[in-house]
Structure 1
Amino acid sequence: MSVQTIRNVFSVETGYRLSDDQIVNHFPNHYELTRKDLMVKNIKRYRKELEKEGSPLAEKDENGKYIYLDFVPVTFMLPADYNLFVEEFRKNPSSTWIMKPCGKAQGKGIFLINKLSQIKKWSRDSKTSSFVSQSSKEAYVISLYINNPLLIGGKKFDLRLYVLVSTYRPLRCYMYKLGFCRFCTVKYTPSTSELDNMFVHLTNVAIQKHGDDYNHIHGGKWTVSNLRLYLESTRGKEVTNKLFDEIHWIIVQSLKAVAPVMNNDKHCFECYGYDIIIDDKLKPWLIEVNASPSLTSSTANDRILKYNLINDTLNIAVPNGEIPDCKWNKSPPKEVLGNYEVL
C-alpha cells in the first residue's frame, strides 16, 4: 500500500477498522521517522531525554558535542530555526550547507549553499513568508554538508540499507544484508564552482541516470559486500567491522528515538530505506530514512536484490504464505529471516 492509502485507512474520517486477517506495510505515523524534519526533531528529543536520565549514551566532549549520539549532521528547520541557523553559519562562514524540502524524495528540490545571500534569494524566489514567521508554504531542513565524504575512484557514494520493523514496542528490527552503494557519475570536488552540479553531490539514481556518464549495466551501484571487501583491503578488517557496527548502532538508536511517538498498531510492519554517508575518517552519518524505498529495478542485479527483499519481507510478515494474521510472531525464528539479520 502507498503511504497515502495508509493515511486514508487510519484516518478518523473513514472510520475503517482493519480485521485480524489484514496487515499493512506502513505504520500510521511512519512520518515521525521518514519526514526529514520530524526525524531530526525526534532524535534531538531522544538525546535530551537520555541526558536528563543521566545516561552515559548522552555523554559530551569538552566542546559540548555528543560522543555517541553525534550521528546526524547539524540540522535546522526553515523557516522556524532561521535565526539559530544564521548564528551557526557565522561561526564557520566557509562551510557548505544542503537544503532539502521536508516532504520530497528522489533528490527533488535539493540544493547547496555557502553564502547567506543565497538563502535570502531562495526565500524571495520561493515566495515563502519572512523567515521570522513560523509559517511557510513548504518547510525545508538545512543541514551541514558532509564535505569530506569517503571517495572510491574519486567519486562520492552513499549506502542504501533496508531495515524491517515488525513492532516498535517492544522494538523488533532487522537489517537486510544485501544493501548497496549508490555512486555519483562525476568525480567529487568540494570546489564552490561545482556546488550546482548535482551529478557531483547527489547519489540519487533518479538524478544520476540522466548523467552522460551513467552506466546502465551496473547502474552506478556496488553491493555492500563489495564495499566491505574494498574497505578491509584498504583500511583493515578491524576498522571495517567497527564502521558496520556503528551503522547498525545508529539505525537502532534512530528507531529508539521514534518508538515512544510511533502508533504501534498490531496490523503494521514496515520496511525502511536508510541512507547513510561515510566520511573520510570512516564515520557514518544518517542522512535520511525513506518510507517507500524504490522497488523499481535499474539493472539485472537490482531486480534480483529487490525480488529477494520483497520475498524475505513477506516470508516474515506472512509466514508460509498463509492468510495474514495481525497476531503474527513479531520475533520470528532465525530460519525464516532469509537475508535479514536481527539488529
Structure 2
Amino acid sequence: MSKPNRVPGYMQSKGNRNRGPIGDREIRYKCSMTNTILDVLRARPGWQEVAGPNVSAQQQQQQQQQGATKGSAVSSTQQGKDKSGSQNPAPNKEPTNTTTSFKTSDGDWDFFWCDREWLHANYDSMFLQEHQKILHFRNHYELTRKNLMVKNLKRLRKQTEREQGKKEAESFDFFPTTYELPTPDYEKHGWTDDNQCKGGTFHSEYHIFVEEFKRLPGIIWIMKPAAKSQGRGIFLFRKLKDITDWKKGEYQPLTDPNREVPETYVVQRYIENPYLIGGRKFDIRVYVLVVSYNPLKVWLYRGGFGRFSNSRFSLDSIEDTYVHLTNVAVQKTAPDYDPDKGCKWATQQLRQYLAAKHGTEVVRKVFQGIDNIIIKSLHSVQKIIINDKHCFEMYGYDILLDANLKPWLIEINASPSLTASGKEDYDLKYGVLNDVLNVLDLENRLTGKEKRVGGFDLIWDDGPVNADDGSMECSINSSATTSNSFLGCYCDRKKQLRDIFTAAQALKKTATS
C-alpha cells in the first residue's frame, strides 16, 4: 500500500514528535500578552500554546505529561552563550514569572511574543535554537526611546551632509528641533534602557535649548518623557518659567548617591500648524515589520489608522490635552468621548479623502515622504542594533501631517498598542498580527521571494524594492512609480494569501519533481 502524501507540518496531527527544528509537527508558542495577539496565536491552525502566564494549570499539567515523552530540551549549561556579539550585555536576571508551576526551558517553544521587560531580563542568558523566533531585538530602544531616536537621526544626518552634501542631508528634515533634558553620559555611567545609572554627573542640552528658545520668542514647545507612551507626562509651554518646577524637581545634580536618576525628557518645537480635518488634529499610525537589520529587510503594512483629537484644534488652550494629544489612551478619557464612534479613520479612508481634496499626485508625494521617514530612521540605527536572525520587530510609527502636507515623525513604538478600541480596530490589528506570522513563515509555506504577503509589502531588501508590473492596486495612485509601497491602498489580504500559498506550493512541487 502506498504511503499517503504528507502535508506541511502545521496541518499534521499532534502525535508523538521530537523537540528540535520545526518539521512535521505543531508550532509551539509563548505569549506575554493577553490582547489581540493571543487571540491570533490561539486561532492559528497547528499552533500550540506552551506553559506560560496565559496557560491554565490544567493545560500546564497536560503539557507536562506530553513533554515527558518527547525528550528533554536545551540544557541549562547552554545558557549564557552570546548569540549576537553584544559588547555591553545587560546583567543576567532570572525570569520573574511565578504564576506557573510548570517551568518550560528555552527549547520548549518555537515562537515567543514576549514583552520588552522579559527580553531585557533574559536575552543575554538564553541560547536560542536555529528555528526559534522572538519579538524585539536586544537594543531595540535605540530607535524607540525618543532621545536616542533623535540622537541617531542627527548623527546620520551629519554623516550624510559630510559625505553627500547639504542637499541630500535635507531629506532628514522630518523631525522637529529636539533637545534632551538631562543628557546622560552613556559610556561613563552605564546607562541602560530602564533609566538606571549608578552615580555620576549629568550634562544637559538645557542651556542650548534656552538659547534657541530666546532666539525664537513666542513659539510653543512640548515636553515628553523619553521612555513613556500613551501621552503620559507630556505638557506644552510658551514660557521658560512654565518648566521651572519641573527643572527644580527633576534636573538637579546627584548629591545623594542613592537617589534615583532624574527621568530623561526631550523638549521639541511644537508643530503649531497641523493639517486639520473637521477642525481636529490627527496623526497616522503606520505598522512596519523589520525581520533583519543586516541586511536590512523592511515590510510596510497597507492598513493603519488616523487618530483624531476629540476637541477642535486651538492654540489658545495649550494645557488641554484633548486638543493637542491624539493618543487613544488620552482621548477616551474625554467627558464627551463616544466609544461607538471613536476617534479613528482607516488609512485607506484618509488617503482617499486627501486625494479627493488635493489630487493623487500630491498625495503620492505625501506617502512617498512617509516611506522616506521609515527608511531613513531604520538606516540611522542599522549599524547600532544588535542583529540576530532569531529576532524581529513590529514598530508602530506615528506620523503627523502639517498644513502644507509635510509628514513629520513624532515617535516610534516598539510595542504599539494591540488592544482594540472597537470591531474595526480589532479586525485591523488581527489582520496585521496574522500577517506578521505569515511573513515570518514558521510553517515554511512560502518561497522566500515574495514581495507581498497579505497586507504587508516588502519595501526594502538591502535596497529599494520595485513593484511588479500590474501590481498597482491603489486606484488613487495611478502616477508612474516603481516603489513597492502601498500604504493606504486597497488590500484584499485573504485572497492574496490564498494565491501566494497556492503558487508557492505549486512551485515547490515542480522543484522536487
Residue equivalent to 1:199 = 322
What amino acid sits opposite 1:76 in the alignment?
A: Y
The alignment status of 1:59 with 2:175, answered yes or no, reads no
Contact 1:163 1:274 in 2 (8 A): yes
Of the three residues 388, 404, 415, the one matched with 1:265 is 388
1:3 has 2:111 as partner = no
| In 2, Cα distance between equivalents of 1:286 and 1:41 | 14
Please say if residues 179 and 224 of structure 1, whose CA atoms lie closer than 8 Å, have aligned partners that are also in contact.
Answer: yes
Query: Secondary structure of the residue that 2:180 maps to in structure 1?
Result: strand
Structure with the greater alpha carbon radius of gyration: 2
Q: What is aligned with 1:140? A: 265
- 1:244 and 2:354 matched: no
Q: Distance in 1 between matches of 2:451 and 2:341?
A: 32
Equivalents in 2 of 1:332, 1:217: separation in Å? Answer: 42
Q: 2: CA distance between counterparts of 1:320 and 1:19?
A: 16
Name 1:73's counterpart in structure 2: 176
Match of 1:101 in 2: 225
Pick from 437, 450, 458 the counterpart of residue 342 of structure 1. Answer: 458
CA contact (8 A) 1:72 1:287 kept: yes
Counterpart of 1:294 in structure 2: which amino acid? S
Q: What TM-score do the two structures reach when normalised by structure 1?
A: 0.89
How far 1:128 sits from its partner (Å)? 3.2
Q: Cα distance, 1:50 vs. partner?
A: 1.2
Partners of 1:289 and 1:202 in 2: CA distance: 15
Distance, in Å, in 2 between the alignment partners of 1:74 and 1:260 is 24
Of 150, 153, 177, 2:278 maps to 153
SS class of match (1:172): strand
Asked whether the 8 Å contact 2:308–2:326 carries over to 1, the reply is yes
Deviations 1:30-49 (A, max 9, x none): 00000000000000110111
Asked if 1 retains the 8 angstrom alpha-carbon contact of 2:250 and 2:263, the reply is: no
1:276 partner SS:
strand
Query: In the TM superposition, what whole-angstrom CA distance separates every residue of 1:305-339 from its partner, at most 9, and x where no partner exists?
Result: 011011000111134378xxxxx98x65135x110
Q: Distance in 1 between matches of 2:336 and 2:367?
A: 30
* Aligned twin of 1:182: 307
Q: Which moved more, 1:112-121 or 1:287-296?
A: 112-121
Counterpart Cα distance in 2 of 1:123 and 1:255:
32
Contact 1:186-1:213 at 8 Å conserved across structures: no
Q: Give 2:404's aligned residue.
A: 281
1:128/1:136 contact within 8 Å kept: no
Deviation at 1:275, TM superposition (A): 0.4
- In the alignment, the residues of structure 1 paired with residue 435 and residue 309 of structure 2 have an alpha-carbon distance, to the nearest angstrom, of 29
Correspondence for 1:47 among 157, 169, 190: 157
Pairwise mapping of residues 227-242 of structure 1 onto structure 2 (< 5 A)?
Answer: 227-242=350-365
1:33 aligns with 2:136: no
1:320 is aligned to 2:419: no
Partner Cα distance (2:396, 2:225) in 1: 18
Higher-RCO chain (CA-CA 8 Å, sequence separation at least 6): 1
Percent identity over the alignment is 46
User: Shift in Å at residue 127 of structure 1?
Assistant: 4.0
Partner of 1:85: 209
- Give me the whole-angstrom Cα distance separating, in 2, the residues matched to 1:16 and 1:242: 45
Contact 1:157 1:277 in 2 (8 A): yes
Q: Residues of 2 paired with 1:262 and 1:282: CA distance? A: 31
Deviates more, 1:24-33 or 1:66-75: 66-75
Q: Residue 160 of structure 1: CA displacement?
A: 0.5
Counterpart in the other structure of 1:325: none
Q: How big is the shift at 1:119?
A: 1.7
Q: Distance in 1 between matches of 2:253 and 2:275?
A: 37
Secondary structure, counterpart of 2:134 in structure 1: coil
Please, which runs of 5 or more residues in structure 1 have no aligned partner? 61-65, 323-327
1:239 aligned counterpart, secondary structure: helix
- Which amino acid letter does the alignment assign opposite residue 74 of structure 1? T
2:379 corresponds to which letter in structure 1?
K
Assess if the C-alpha contact under 8 Å between 2:309 and 2:326 holds in 1. yes
Deviation at 1:212, TM superposition (A): 2.1
The 3 A distance-change label for structure 1 pair 78 and 136 is farther
RMSD: 1.8
Structure 2 unmatched runs, 5+: 1-113, 183-203, 255-259, 460-513
Equivalent residue, structure 1, for 2:71: none
Whether the aligned pair in 2 keeps the contact of 1:315 and 1:321 (CA below 8 Å) is: no
The aligned amino acid for 1:172 is K
Letter of the 1:71 partner, please give it. F
Q: Is the 8 A contact 2:286 2:397 kept in 1?
A: yes
1:147-205 CA-to-partner distances (Å, cap 9, x unmatched) read 100000000000000000010111110111101000000000012xx111000000000
Q: Does 1:118 align with 2:242?
A: yes
Residue 141 of structure 1 aligns with an amino acid whose one-letter code is: V
Q: Which amino acid in 1 is paired with 2:167?
A: E
1:82, distance to aligned residue in structure 2 (A): 0.2
Deviation at 1:129, TM superposition (A): 0.6
Matched position secondary structure for 1:260: coil
**1:121 offset after TM fit, Å?**
2.4
Question: 1:338, 1:25 → 2: CA distance?
Answer: 20
Evaluate the alpha carbon distance shift between residue 45 and residue 245 of structure 1 in structure 2; reply closer, same or farther with a 3 A threshold: same
Q: Is the 8 A contact 1:312 1:339 kept in 2?
A: yes
TM-score (norm 2): 0.60
